[in-house]
Every structure is written in structure tokens, then in C-alpha cells.
């Protein structure tokens, strides 16, 4: 029989995790080697218990969600990132471009967030995006506009010579409230060289987020995992995010994005649920200065995302509707979830659902 040691409420099969647990309880910051242990161990229930303990310290029994809509204005993109099934060339049969009216028609007053991310379009001028934000803000003053990855902001510079300081301040003046965390992928030169030829660099992604934070624009951050990256590279990524947050303090949430195998097939199959759950827990434990960790149901599926709520995540993201990036890569989750379904998933995980806006202002607590 395997020896199981019980320490302060957690049963450990892997005793090498005990010093990590002691640090977590003492509130000491975990190092790279601690984080690696969390990802490498097969004792994932113990890792989950630690992540959940930390989550409760940060956000008690609450789990947040938002009534939102993902708007991907175009899939036409000048890049050819090796992992992306979404991007198309102009003239491809399934390339599309949404008009501002199309976008306005897809929203309604009940929503509290619109998440706008699209391809790097070869000819759409910056003003088109500025007008899009202005039009949404004018028609739906109560919907928070979360839009444009750092990669898109950098593209406005590369394509139109509008530097990030200018594009961010113009978008903010137009009504932008916050920025999503996409485009970070993995902060590793090796991975960038292999998967993202021509895409904005990691240091540029960090620079743009820090600039946004300095201008009072809150942002999210992500990691795209489960492809060719190593556990060491995932940990390097966590530590860079933590250092960035120490300096500029504007990250609201971290979203681990599970690579969707789709047609790009960088690896033959999705990383297993045990890896997803350990990554959520490791994120909660390593990113001690980032308030929220999402369990992103679109990429994880509802079952694993719901388990993530007991592994350190305190946010299920949103109702979404018409998400196209993960679904282009054959994500088998539905395109959207109704508010009642979000509430049920959170209740079923034994947590208290809290509806929020993009900035985590609480709108309604569903505590019965
Ligand atoms: O940056 C592209 C990723 C991201 C694939 O900030 C893929 O609240 C998996 O960033 N498999 C966009 N991922 C999504 C994103 C996001 C999602 C939800 C919430 C927030 C937030 C941000 O999707 C891209 C890229 O990393 N992506 N292709 C793929 N095959």
C-alpha cells in the first residue's frame, strides 16, 4: 500500500509537495522549482486542494461569471500562426468581415461585456476599430467593451504607424474599458520561432500591457498550453506574468487556454484533464498577485471547467455566444451558455455564483 501523509487537511501521496504546501500556508511566494513540482506530480488531488485553499483566501466561496458576447469582427489575418485554425486569407471561401451594424445587431442591453478580438486585417484602417468602439459605447452604454489583444495593438503600429500609446488612448476615449489577455501564447523564444512567425514578441506583449496599465486600462493575461511547450516554459511564463504584475498591477484575470487540436494538430490529442486542472491550480498558487483565475469552459468543456472551480479557479468567464476562435479549431463545447446554465454549473461545484461586469464589479449574487 502506498503511504499517504495527512498535513493540515490535505492527504499527500507525493510527499515532495509538503514543503510547497507549507510555503502556501505561510503566504510565502512559490519559486520556479515549486511550480514545476505542481505540474510534474501525479498527485493532482493534493495540488487541487492547495489551489482551492488559495482560491478561498482570495475570493472566498464566490465564482464569477458575466453575461457577454464574443465578437470576432473578421477572420482575415496577415499572419499564419501554426496553431491557429481561425485565420483565413482574403478571398478564402469561409473568410468573413462583419460590419459595425452586424456587430451592433449581435448585442443586447442585458449584456455586461463585449469581448472583441479579430484577425490582423490587411486593409481595415485603425479608424474602423475606433468607430466600432464608439458605436457600441453609444448604443449600449451599459456594456463594458473589452477589446484588442496586445498583438492587435502592435499591428496597428506595424501596419498604420499608430503607436500603442496613441491607439490605446484613442480607443479608451472611444469607450474601451479593458483588454483581453490573448496573444501572449507562451513567452519562449523557442516556441515563438517555431509557432508564431511574424507575430508580436513576448517583450512587446508585456510592454503594451504595462502601457495600458499605466493609462488606467485593466487587462487580462493568458497562456496557450498543451502543445509543444515544456513545463519549464509554462513556469517561466507564470513568473514573467507575476513580475509584470508586481510592476504595473493592472491584470485582472489569468486565463489558461488549452490548445485546441483542431486541424492544426501540433500534437495528436488534447492535453488530459489532469494537466488542465493542475495548470489551473498552479496558476492560482504561482500568480499570487493576480486577483482572478478563469476556468474557460469554451476550451475545457463544461465538465472539466466545472471541476476547475474546485482547483483554484474563481471565474467561469461568460455566456459568450458565437465564439469563433476555439470553434474554428473544433472545440466541442456549445457556442454559448445561458445565464441559468452558468449559475447551475457554479452551484453544482458547491460555489456561490456572482454575476459581474468586465471589471469585476458585482452585479448580482445568486446565493440560494
Ligand atoms: O490569443 C488560437 C488562442 C486566443 C487556438 O481575456 C487558440 O478574458 C487554443 O485570448 N487552441 C484568443 N487557443 C482567446 C483569448 C481569450 C479567451 C477568453 C477570454 C479571454 C480574456 C481571452 O485564442 C489567442 C490564441 O492564444 N488560440 N488558436 C487553438 N487552436
Pick from 286, 276, 301, 297: which is nearest to 226 by CA? 276
Nearest atom, ligand 1, residue 183 CA? 1
108 C-beta neighbours (distance < 10 Å), count: 11
Average pLDDT in the chain: 95
Q: pLDDT (tens digit, 9 = 90+) per residue, 218-251?
A: 999 999 999 999 999 999 999 999 999 999 999 9
pLDDT value of position 23: 98
Pick from 326, 337, 349: which is nearest to 280 by CA? 349
Nearest atom, ligand 1, residue 83 CA? 30
Handedness of CA 176, 181, 185, 186 (dihedral sign): positive
Burial of 272 (0-12, 13-18, 19+ CB in 10 A): exposed
Q: pLDDT (tens digit, 9 = 90+) per residue, 161-178?
A: 999 999 999 999 999 999
Nearest atom, ligand 1, residue 264 CA? 30
CA of 354 to the centre of ligand 1 (A): 24
DSSP state letters, 254-276 = EEEEEPP-TTT-SSSSPPPHHHH
Does 1 score more than 80 pLDDT? no
Does 199 score more than 80 pLDDT? no
Does 326 score more than 90 pLDDT? no
Decide: 182 in ligand 1 pocket, CB within 6 A.
yes
Residue 294 DSSP code: B
Q: pLDDT (tens digit, 9 = 90+) per residue, 47-86?
A: 999 999 999 999 999 999 999 999 999 999 999 899 899 9
Nearest atom, ligand 1, residue 328 CA? 30
Does 142 score more than 70 pLDDT? yes
CA of 2 to the centre of ligand 1 (A): 40
Domain range annotation of the chain: 5-55, 61-365
| Closest C-alpha to ligand 1, atom 15 | 182
The CATH homologous superfamily to which domain 61-365 belongs is: Aldolase class I (3.20.20.70)
Please give the Cα distance from 234 to 223 (Å, whole number).
Answer: 8
Question: What are the cell numbers at 172?
Answer: 479608451
pLDDT value of position 299: 96
pLDDT value of position 36: 98
pLDDT value of position 165: 98
| Closest C-alpha to ligand 1, atom 13 | 259
| Closest C-alpha to ligand 1, atom 2 | 84
Handedness of CA 53, 57, 62, 66 (dihedral sign): negative
Best of 85, 114, 182, 223 for a ligand 1 pocket test (most atoms within 8 Å of beta carbon): 182
- 3-state helix, strand, coil split of the chain in percent (to 5) is 40, 15, 40
Q: pLDDT (tens digit, 9 = 90+) per residue, 258-284?
A: 999 999 999 999 999 999 999 999 999
Percent of the chain surpassing pLDDT 90: 89
Helices then strands, counting H and E runs in the chain, come out as: 15, 13
* H or E element, residue 363: strand 362-365
Does 347 score more than 90 pLDDT? yes
Amino acid at each position: 500500500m502506498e503511504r499517504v501523509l495527512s498535513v493540515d487537511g490535505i492527504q499527500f501521496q507525493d510527499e515532495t509537495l509538503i514543503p510547497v504546501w507549507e510555503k502556501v500556508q505561510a503566504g510565502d511566494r512559490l519559486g520556479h522549482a515549486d511550480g514545476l513540482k505542481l505540474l510534474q506530480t501525479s498527485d493532482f488531488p493534493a495540488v487541487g486542494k492547495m489551489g482551492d485553499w488559495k482560491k478561498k483566501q482570495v475570493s472566498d466561496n464566490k465564482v464569477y461569471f458575466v453575461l457577454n458576447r464574443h465578437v470576432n469582427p473578421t477572420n482575415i489575418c496577415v499572419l499564419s500562426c501554426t496553431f491557429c485554425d481561425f485565420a483565413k486569407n482574403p478571398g478564402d471561401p469561409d473568410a468573413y468581415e462583419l460590419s459595425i451594424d452586424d456587430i451592433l445587431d449581435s448585442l443586447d442591453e442585458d449584456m455586461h461585456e463585449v469581448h472583441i478580438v479579430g484577425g490582423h486585417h490587411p486593409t481595415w484602417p485603425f479608424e474602423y476599430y475606433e468607430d466600432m468602439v464608439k458605436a457600441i459605447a453609444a448604443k449600449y452604454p451599459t456594456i463594458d467593451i473589452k477589446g484588442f489583444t496586445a498583438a492587435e495593438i502592435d499591428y496597428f503600429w506595424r501596419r498604420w504607424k499608430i503607436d500603442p500609446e496613441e491607439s490605446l488612448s484613442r480607443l479608451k476615449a472611444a469607450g474601451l474599458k479593458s483588454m483581453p489577455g490573448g496573444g501572449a501564447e507562451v513567452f519562449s523564444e523557442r516556441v515563438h520561432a517555431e509557432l508564431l512567425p511574424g507575430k508580436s514578441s513576448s517583450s512587446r506583449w508585456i510592454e503594451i500591457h504595462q502601457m495600458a496599465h499605466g493609462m488606467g486600462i485593466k487587462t487580462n493575461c493568458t497562456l496557450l498550453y498543451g502543445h509543444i511547450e515544456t513545463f519549464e516554459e509554462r513556469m517561466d511564463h507564470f513568473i514573467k506574468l507575476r513580475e509584470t504584475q508586481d510592476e504595473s498591477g493592472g491584470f485582472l484575470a489569468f486565463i489558461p487556454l488549452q490548445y485546441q487540436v483542431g486541424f492544426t494538430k501540433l500534437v495528436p490529442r488534447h492535453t488530459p484533464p489532469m494537466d488542465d486542472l493542475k495548470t489551473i491550480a498552479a496558476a492560482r498558487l504561482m500568480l499570487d498577485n493576480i486577483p482572478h483565475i478563469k476556468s474557460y469552459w469554451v476550451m475545457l468543456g463544461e465538465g472539466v471547467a466545472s471541476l476547475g472551480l474546485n482547483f483554484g479557479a474563481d471565474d467561469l468567464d461568460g455566456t459568450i455566444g458565437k465564439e469563433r476562435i476555439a470553434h474554428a479549431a473544433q472545440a466541442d463545447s456549445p457556442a454559448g451558455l445561458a445565464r441559468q446554465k452558468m449559475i447551475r454549473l457554479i452551484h453544482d461545484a458547491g460555489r456561490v455564483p456572482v454575476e459581474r461586469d468586465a471589471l469585476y464589479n458585482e452585479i448580482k449574487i445568486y446565493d440560494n
